[in-house]
A and B are shown apart, each in its own frame.
Chain A
């Protein structure tokens, strides 16, 4: 079972990200679970959301405190919230930033794997808005290999309707452009 924590700001779509990843896993016949940090949501405020993905039925209904993967949708959260809190030392950190993985590693003193992608640029170019949830999902799929890229198609289409193709383009671009250390 892989446990993931997403960091974003209210309105950036962190909750949608966890829904899409859970649905993509379910699409493949795996077991996926997604949930928000339980509580009130305020636009702009730092928010977190969670995923569990497994090959067997997921029984645990409690929160996630030691994730295997952390995804940061918004670079400006670094320094405001401790994004590596509880992250396993051999875990993976995926950040939306113009910086290189090495620079982020140095900045956060994190020993595990780091991947970075300029998701804001991709989202602006593909969607016209800096909402990076689908873009970062592409990066996560590449870095973790948890689900197949194809499996995200149906959930994204179901969620975004007319805007699905643009989101899929952003997702695929991040899949290609994410760099790892």
Chain B
């Protein structure tokens, strides 16, 4: 069996696998799961924030002008933002 090196032993892992370090989920980058990525067209964006609200990954961020874009380190490419954006400012395009 392939045992990865550098990970904690059974003696070292925390009781009940409790996690005491806040924000550790951010280390796990889910961007590699993506087959399509969202492209935000700022000229169509009305800054309503619907994409921000609906993103299940919480990876949409607002820029200085008030428009939105996805943090591609975490965006899984689910396309919900694109489906919910009623002005049609978000297009899903193939990766690559």
User: Within the complex, are A and B direct neighbours (CB within 8 Å)?
Assistant: no
